Structure 1
Amino acid sequence: MRRRFGPVLAASLWALSWMPAPAQAQGEPVKVGYAKCAHCLPMALLPDFAKGATIDAIGFNSGNDVLTALISKSLDVAQVTYLHYVTALDKGFDVVAVAGEVNGGSECLAAKGLALKADDWAGFKAAVEKAKAAGTPLKVAASRGNAQDIHMRGAFLKHGINPNKDVQFVNIPNPSDHLAAVQRGEIDMVCSVEPFASQIRMAGAATRFVLPYDQAAGNLTNLIVTRSDVIKTRRAAVQAVVDADVALVARLDADKSVWIDVINQKTGLSKEVAAEAIKNAEPDYRMHRAKTLAIAAMMRDLKYIGRDVSAEAEKNMDYSFLEAATKKTRDGLGH
């Protein structure tokens, strides 16, 4: 059974989750963490949209690192993924979802040696079966535990390919290393995150096989979460974050140039790559309850979690902040 956290780290996080949060004055900055990917990096702009609170936006290498910082009370609010949310609940951690941000950002790319056409599941399945019969299963890479990993595994399973048995999974934790692995011929396919997926494709190292959204999670990716103690002691600060998120999403919809600029500035990749990357991204502050429950069920089927967390996943989605920010009811916000 594959688990996101090892036993030692899980035990440490459990202990950290029960530590009292440090006392904070209401006027202190609210610390918000985000990961370094095309659909996450707009969070770096969040302070520009803040009203009623000062937001300190802090970048991390991965969503895994962001979740760890939230659980250890180094952050007040975290932009992670629906997968991280479900995984945290499975571990018994205190996380409360308060808003969405951007969805999408996943792409499966095939090495040129596979000679696969886009969306050719029959051809891919035939290649998988041939390689498996020869005792040299295809090597499929992703960053274990991120949204692209679960999107890929769910899509494979739906099309009759068992990601745990039919292919050899290769974990490449840092998505920025995906391009080099393809160029060195170490993998046959990678499910990467934008903007690194577009970087791979535009470099000519691999071709698009599929956008892996044909599974229970759809294209759901980002979720903004906090802890119940933060809501209790700093509710106004959490509301300020959600208000800023709603304003940010509106800006991303209206002006793609600010999005392209922040990707370029934070990753060093060209604006051309950034512009291509955001074609595979959808700003969306809603929280999609039904699909969240479907994700939880799929993750259990894939052995990512060990129990049914549907009740907790639904209970811990707090729509009150989005309702206040948008003046809409939860029925119009994904409930």
Structure 2
Amino acid sequence: MAKALKLMFQGTNSDVGKSVVVTAFCRIFAQDGYKTVPFKSQNMALNSYITEDGKEIGRAQGVQAEAAGIQATTDMNPILIKPNRDNQSQIVVHGKPYKNMEASAYRKEFFQTGVELIKESLAVLSEKYERIVIEGAGSPAEINLNDREMVNMRVARMADAPVILIGDIEKGGVFASLVGTLQLMEPEDRARVIGVIINKFRGDIRLLEPGLMWFEEYTGKPVLGVIPYLQNLNIDAEDSVILNKYTSVQNTEKELDIAVVQYPKISNFTDVDPFFAEPDCHVRFITRADQLHNPDLVILPGTKNTIEDLLFLRKSGISEKIVELQKKNQTVLFGVCGGYQMLGEKIEDPLAIES
């Protein structure tokens, strides 16, 4: 493997801002004149990015490639996991569907294949680029999974990459999460961590400084930076955890009220993001019939399991409420991908791909 400089970012948990920080470093290295590429070995995401040759990778890696000023390829994310049922996901290998697998089968049967795919992609990128900015997933302290994980410290060891650990102060308990994560690492992995970043800070940095000093003395790891909370970042979300931040409440001050149905297997929900940029639109995500009210537009977004999500619409009463609105001509109904399939008279899955 060529000696491209590699740097890896891991987090104390999901949604700490790893993807955004990696995006920033891709742009910084590229602006400094280095041929830079992002890498995430295995990504679990329902929002995907389509490469120039029509293949599918995690949305974050597509955005990171744009930040680096390069075309996205599947070597930047060779394994994509797209959940489609409880305990089952579609495995996408180098941008193409591989097979549907349950979690236990994936860990047992796919592990060695996955390791080889990761090694090959790292080798390809190392030959072409001077800087590889690597993103982990979840937490490296998930000790129940670490014996066969393929996205955190095993990748850092493969790439021989130093690791920067990111903690999210917005949720509270950032020092506990950073210290706890470091304590649960194996000694060789802990030694690979060169420092930490505290992300999403609001307020007076002087109030945080005693904690920063304590952390450095207690752990021996430097705090490399404190990143302020950035409003209106407008980078496409990848993880559905962000849906918890969206409202279901109507805003009568806006001219257009748009209700997006958030079913259990929603995918590519960032398709509606352009509406957030329109000053006359209020976008909300609803999960219950009583949240629907009388919107100007109802959007049925994409889904990784059309039939089960349609059953959700029926059991929740949302479909009945939508039909009532349609009969009264009170709203426009718009379906995207799987949501459009739900508008048909019949849905068939003869090969049991989803159902």
More strand by share: 2
Shorter chain as denominator, the TM-score bin is under 0.3
TM-score by length of 2: 0.26
* Higher Cα Rg, which structure: 2
The structure with higher relative contact order (CA 8 Å, sep 6+) is: 1
TM-score (norm 1): 0.27
